[in-house]
Structure 1
Amino acid sequence: MRSLDRLTLRERALVALREAILTGRYGPGDHLGEVEIASQLSISRGTVREALRHLQQEGLVTPGVRGMLRVRSLSANEIDELFRVRCALEGQAVAEIVESDRLAQVVGELHSALERLEAATGDLGEQLEADLAFHAQLCELSGNSILLDTWRHLEGPIRVVVMSASTENRRFPMSADHHRPIVEAVERGDADTAVRVLREHMQAAVKLLNSKS
């Protein structure tokens, strides 16, 4: 029972800390003090330490001064690199989908993902979740589990970058209309066009997220 209780506390701490980071309550560069967090959540420092270690593996947290962990902060160059790697993975996913014998089924699922994007008309968080879900599904439908796992490791930093951007710059093209050309190109078996649209999509995101205005 003790180990179960400990696991439950760790999972609750993990969920609470992840949400605080992804919603911007902890911003990039903010230090995450074990004592303060343990007091706020009414749990032990050891439990906090385990949760922070997990968040470090997710790419949300990184060592700072004197080993104290802080919310990861990406430079303009790192944001560019992040989205270029993401584009390369999703481009490979498109190529594998087009070459597969499940193309018709995959296209149907991508159209369903577009409908969910269209329905996400709420706050930024809801739109971001729908946007990332579309791209995650694109990777998943490739059938390449290593590709999907690699993309998942980028998901945390992407969320931090978007949620920490200024209100004016965080709403990069996340609508269904900006994703529909990707699906249409995949449906035609035109991987080159789908990859080009993906690249333009990522470049637009980087330009906005790195803008100083």
Structure 2
Amino acid sequence: MAAEPMSLLGLEKTSLRQQALAALRRAITTGELPPGTHLVETDLSEMLQISRGTLREALRQLQQEGLVAAGARGRLSVRHLDAKEIRDIFAVRAALESLAARELCALPDRTEIIAVLRGAVEKMDRAAEAGLEERIEADLDFHRTLCRLAGNETLLHSWRSLEGNIRMSIMFAGLDRAVKNMSVPRHGEIVDAIATGDAAQVSEVITEHMEGAAAVLVA
């Protein structure tokens, strides 16, 4: 009987950590906590009404995602990306997503996969009338889905490790430039290229997509 309360407490703690993580990630992505902001544990734990231990767990996850970095004496702050880092991030994205798309092109029947990807594009279209956060999530969901459908867990894990950096690149650019990269027709072109089954064409489309996105963000 003693094990049951412990299990329930574990679930509650996990929930608090996840809620804190989501709140902090949202604050960074939307600019409420801009790049360079020092993250003071006492202040944040009081604002979020959680223990400092739970807060530290959330901050460790944000470090792994690339949203938070340790500076002098281990002090944590919201990370700032420079133009070269953004170009590097999108070059790696181009390689990963091109690989995913080529693997999809090799499938004999892509009907169901194309339907899922078109559904992700439609989700982006619906989010266009919503706030920035919803648009960011719909955009990321499209690219994450593309990698997931390839069925390559190493590829998906590699892409997920870039998610925090992708979010930070949006903060670097600002709202107007970031929104330009969330164009629904541009993402539809990727799906159309995969539908043809032409691996060379889809690699070219995705590479141009990523190069164009990086150029917009660092302009």
Q: Could you tell me which of 12, 19, 22 is aligned with 1:12?
A: 19
Letter in 2 for 1:145: E
Pairwise CA distance, 1:15: 2.2
Secondary structure, in 3 states, of the residue corresponding to 1:171? helix
Using the size of structure 2 for normalisation, the TM-score is 0.88
**1:130: which partner in 2?**
138
1:156 aligns with 2:164: yes
Structure with larger RCO (C-alpha < 8 A, sep 6+): 2
1:178 aligns with 2:186: yes
Same amino acid, percent of matched pairs:
45
Q: CA deviation at 1:143?
A: 1.0
Cα deviations by residue, 1:148-204 (Å, 9 ceiling, x for unpaired): 111111112111221342233222332221112211111111122222121121112
3-state SS in 1 of match to 2:77: strand
In structure 2, what is the equivalent of residue 204 of structure 1? 212
What's the Cα RMSD here? Answer: 1.8
1:111 aligns with 2:118: yes
Take 1:104 and 1:129, find their aligned partners in 2: how far apart are those partners? 25
Q: Is the 8 A contact 2:172 2:217 kept in 1?
A: no
2:197 aligns with: 189
Structure 1 unaligned residues grouped into runs of 5+: none
Give the Cα–Cα distance (whole angstroms) in 2 for the partners of residues 167 and 202 of structure 1: 18
Instruction: In structure 1, give the amino acid aligned to 2:192.
Output: E
Once residues 67 and 214 of structure 2 are traced to their aligned partners in structure 1, the CA distance between those partners, rounded to angstroms, is 19
Instruction: Tell me the amino acid that sits aligned with residue 20 of structure 2.
Output: A
Q: 1:203 to 1:67 in 2, by over 3 A?
A: same
Under a length normalisation based on structure 1, what TM-score does the superposition of the two structures give? 0.90
Task: Give, in angstroms, the shift of residue 137 of structure 1.
Answer: 0.9
Name the structure 1 match of 2:151.
143
**Preserved CA contact (<8 Å) 2:80 2:172:** no
Following the alignment from structure 1 to structure 2, what is the Cα–Cα distance between the partners of residues 114 and 8? 30
Aligned residues: 211
Residue of 29, 32, 46 corresponding to 1:22: 29
Instruction: Give yes or no for contact 1:181–1:194 (8 Å, CA) kept in 2.
Output: no
Runs ≥4 in structure 1, deviation > 6 angstroms? none
- Select which of 4, 28, 52 maps to 1:45: 52
- Distance in 2 (alpha carbons) for counterparts of 1:192 and 1:132: 24
Aligned counterpart in structure 2 of residue 120 of structure 1, from 93, 116, 127:
127
After superposition, the Cα gap between the structure-2 partners of 1:167 and 1:19, relative to the gap in structure 1 and judged at 3 Å, is closer
Structure 2 match to 1:97: 104
Aligned letter for 1:153?
S
Uncovered stretches (5+) of structure 2, i.e. residues with no partner? none
